[in-house]
């Protein structure tokens, strides 16, 4: 799906595939993370969410900059 002003690069697809793979692995092994002394499972969720939101913001920012001719 092509949108005007949005430039979806190969590394965006690679990043999303790696994020999806990591989410699946964490979901499968979720019970193992419950036995950690420190709340590793919470850190993983927060880290993945932060990275995903950052990439979405970068994608939107690049699209807006391209639309403005910057």
Residue 20: inside a domain? yes
Domain count, the chain: 1
Whether 43 shows a pLDDT value over 60: the answer reads yes
CB 33 within 8 A of CB 26: yes
pTM of the entire structure? 0.48
Euclidean distance between CA atoms 52 and 66, whole angstroms: 21
- Binned at pLDDT 50, 70 and 90, residue 47 comes out as confident
What domain range is 51 assigned to?
6-68
Give the count of beta carbons closer than 10 Å to the beta carbon of residue 52.
14
Q: What's residue 8's pLDDT?
A: 67
CB 64 within 8 A of CB 5: yes
Euclidean distance between CA atoms 51 and 19, whole angstroms: 9
Residue 1: inside a domain? no
Between 5 and 58, where is the model more confident?
58
Q: Above pLDDT 70, what percent of the chain?
A: 80
């Amino acid at each position: 799906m092509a949108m005007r002003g949005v430039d979806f690069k190969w590394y965006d697809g690679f990043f999303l595939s790696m994020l999806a793979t990591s989410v699946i692995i964490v979901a499968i092994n979720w019970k193992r993370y419950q036995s950690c002394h420190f709340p590793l499972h919470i850190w993983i969720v927060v880290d993945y969410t932060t990275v995903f939101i950052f990439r979405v913001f970068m994608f939107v920012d690049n699209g807006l900059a391209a639309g403005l001719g910057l």
